[in-house]
Structure 1
Amino acid sequence: MRKVVTFGEIMLRLNPDGYGKFVQADHFATSYAGGEANVALSLANYGMDAHYVTVLPKHEIGQMTVNGLRKFGVNTSDIIRDGDRIGVLYLEKGASQRPSKVIYDRKYSAIALYDPAKYDWKKIFAGAEWFHFTGITPALSAEAAQATLDAAKTAHEMGITVSCDLNYRSNLWSREAAGETMAKLMPYVDVCISNEEDASDVFGIKSEGTDVTTGKLSHEGYKEVAQKLVDRFGFKKVAITLRGSISASVNEWAGMLYSDGECYFSKNYTIQIVDRVGGGDSFGGGLVYALMSDKTPQQQIEFAVAASCLKQTIEGDFNLVTIPEVEKLAGGDASGRVQR
């Protein structure tokens, strides 16, 4: 199996049943959430040797989290057991015109406080072909930012392909801080994954004619964003997700891959949302798999978008679909008919 490494924070996810509001809840359902963990799990489902690197406490909640990854085939041998707490994400799922809400309780988590000098990146990357991280990890703390930079540099020096999902989170840091820190990481990145909001928030790169709040999408605008990202940072490829938010319950979903000066657009899907959190990560996981496979650029973006479309019909952060399920949708069968 081909080895892929991802690095970031995994949190305990707590949410009211169904579409209940926080103030209605007398108990919470538990699962796990984290951008890079979600990507690792997708890749494990696709048959990759997916190694996930993070820091978790030695207590039972930390072990429960490790077990939650192991049961889906993620390699947890590089998870460091240290620190006192795991971050928590509270999620209230929206419906119709009521948006979803996220509350973080992740300050002073184990990964945020861990000494970056203690990671043995050369050992972790031995035999790896790909390294993936997101803009969430360096936003956690100065320590996590340094660890991410060290990892990206080492992977680049070892000839490993590096991908990054910009994933700007305003609850974690300012646009100015994000721009300064992420700019230092970009020279080591081969594949940049973004949406227009992230490119604008982090690097001030945006286009006219696109408004995500009205569902208005401009193909020319996204081409412009991708070209500007390539011109500034020299990426080999840029992938952009195209989400048209009709409501919290209905989204338009597509994607674009910019490769060798050409733009490839996927089919557009209208999704009846079950759980959109983790949708971008499932796109990233699908894209990494597709880029490592014997697929054309058009097939690569179709696979990534189909994978992420299916994920948004599944409860929880994790994408639990198989390659045949993704390829069936990517091939044009969106009927949803019962399989007997």
Structure 2
Amino acid sequence: MSKRIVTFGEILLRLSPPSHLRLTQATSFDLYYGCAEANVAASLSKFGLPVKFITAVPPNELGESSLSMLRSFGVDPVALIQGKRLGIYYFEQGASERPGKVVYDREDSSFSTLKKGMIDWETIFKDADGFHWSGITPSLSLDLAEICEEALLVASRMGLTISADLNYRPTLWKYGKKANEIMPNLVKHCDLLLGGIGESESVLGVEAKENDTEDIVFANWMKAFPKLKIVVSTHRMHANASSNSISASLWNGKELLHSREYNISHIIDRIGAGDAFMAGIIYGLITWPEDFQTALEFAVAATCLKHSISGDINLATVNEIKALMGGSGGGRVSR
């Protein structure tokens, strides 16, 4: 039986100037919907898992369009229809040594009007096996941080496997709380965590010395958060906006595993690459629960392919990802 996953977060309208134009040059925009937890939901559904996505959208055409997009991927969106606007972000594609840029316009969005008690988590989690969230949601407001805790308490009590992506965005933490004042109380519920050693103190409040290696830092995370079973991290090397080398690692409490490294050139769109990895590792651990190396290789191949796909959501299929894992990369035409 397929594992049933619930994700929770805000879905945003993304507007990007075409052809690598700068925002200051734009006279038109390419339109996409996405954002972290919605991207994970869509990928998992594309991989064949039943997925619910919990959010809030306004009672207008943009709200309905965003939900229709999720339904087109097979996701079951459960949305409170309230508020007046869908959050927006503008993404300027970088090129070569010019980095990409994100400008947020999400204040007073429908999602931001959510408060504790509005969502019946026990009903949402009925028959669910897993719950995924990310650090973006509690970064937006204290109300949303409290809703995350509310959801996590119910998910823990009901025995769901809980995953999270730290997704640290310093520019989003504006309501008077630092990430390391909020996140540790939420991460303590997690079984699977995606993050990097550079986020140890700033997000989790766990000291990391300058020369500490990943296995040392991740072992300390597991000491601080005893429920954690798996920690994963992605690594970008030799990076500019057009080409990267990417790999990943996994700490299972006993050993640190490393994936193969992919050299990615002519990047089409790197937005959502971390979400593609997150969906890949969730699917991988469900599919190969005793084979951490294969699960890790699936996740890093998924994020590799996402760089070749426009928009927030990874459109790569399980078979395409497995083919890349098996060495069929290189851009050859499939006939």
Report the TM-score when normalising by structure 1: 0.93
Is this contact kept in 1: 2:196–2:233, CA < 8 A? Answer: yes
Residue equivalent to 2:224: 232
The offset of 1:171, in angstroms, is 1.2
Task: Answer yes or no: is 1:277 the counterpart of 2:271.
Answer: yes
Could you tell me which of 309, 315, 326 is aligned with 1:320? 315
Residue equivalent to 1:123: 123
For 1:144 and 1:321, locate their aligned partners in 2 and report how far apart those are by CA, in whole Å.
31
The offset of 1:228, in angstroms, is 2.0
Structure 2, unmatched stretches of 5+, are none
The offset of 1:110, in angstroms, is 1.0
Is this contact kept in 2: 1:286–1:304, CA < 8 A? Answer: yes
Matches within 5 A, 1:213-224: 221-224=213-216
Matched residue SS, 2:245: strand
For 2:29 and 2:200, locate their aligned partners in 1 and report how far apart those are by CA, in whole Å.
34
Matched residue SS, 2:188: helix
For 2:173 and 2:184, locate their aligned partners in 1 and report how far apart those are by CA, in whole Å.
15
Is this contact kept in 1: 2:39–2:275, CA < 8 A? Answer: yes
Is this contact kept in 2: 1:166–1:199, CA < 8 A? Answer: no
Query: CA, structure 1 residues 134+261, in 2 after alignment: closer, same or farther (shift >3 Å)?
Result: same
RMSD over aligned CA atoms reads 1.6
Is this contact kept in 1: 2:180–2:203, CA < 8 A? Answer: yes
Residue equivalent to 1:248: 241
Query: CA, structure 1 residues 46+207, in 2 after alignment: closer, same or farther (shift >3 Å)?
Result: farther
For 1:146 and 1:246, locate their aligned partners in 2 and report how far apart those are by CA, in whole Å.
36
Residue equivalent to 1:140: 140
The offset of 1:206, in angstroms, is 4.1
Query: CA, structure 1 residues 166+18, in 2 after alignment: closer, same or farther (shift >3 Å)?
Result: same
Residue equivalent to 2:50: 49
For 1:157 and 1:316, locate their aligned partners in 2 and report how far apart those are by CA, in whole Å.
36
For 1:305 and 1:313, locate their aligned partners in 2 and report how far apart those are by CA, in whole Å.
14
Identity of aligned residues (%): 40
The offset of 1:68, in angstroms, is 1.1
Residue equivalent to 1:195: 196
Moved more, 244-253 or 198-207: 198-207
Aligned length: 329
Is this contact kept in 1: 2:188–2:225, CA < 8 A? Answer: yes
For 1:294 and 1:262, locate their aligned partners in 2 and report how far apart those are by CA, in whole Å.
17
Residue equivalent to 2:22: 21
The offset of 1:197, in angstroms, is 3.4
For 2:139 and 2:263, locate their aligned partners in 1 and report how far apart those are by CA, in whole Å.
32
For 1:103 and 1:14, locate their aligned partners in 2 and report how far apart those are by CA, in whole Å.
10
For 1:336 and 1:196, locate their aligned partners in 2 and report how far apart those are by CA, in whole Å.
33
Structure 1, unmatched stretches of 5+, are 210-219
Matches within 5 A, 1:1-340: 1-76=2-77, 78-173=78-173, 177-203=178-204, 205-206=207-208, 208=210, 221-234=213-226, 235-272=228-265, 273-295=267-289, 296-340=291-335
Report the TM-score when normalising by structure 2: 0.94
Moved more, 238-247 or 170-179: 170-179
For 1:309 and 1:287, locate their aligned partners in 2 and report how far apart those are by CA, in whole Å.
13
> Structure 1, residues 185-221: CA drift from partner, whole Å, max 9, x if none?
1221111111233334313554546xxxxxxxxxx72
Letter in 2 for 1:231: K
Moved more, 306-315 or 171-180: 171-180
The offset of 1:331, in angstroms, is 2.2
For 2:98 and 2:209, locate their aligned partners in 1 and report how far apart those are by CA, in whole Å.
28
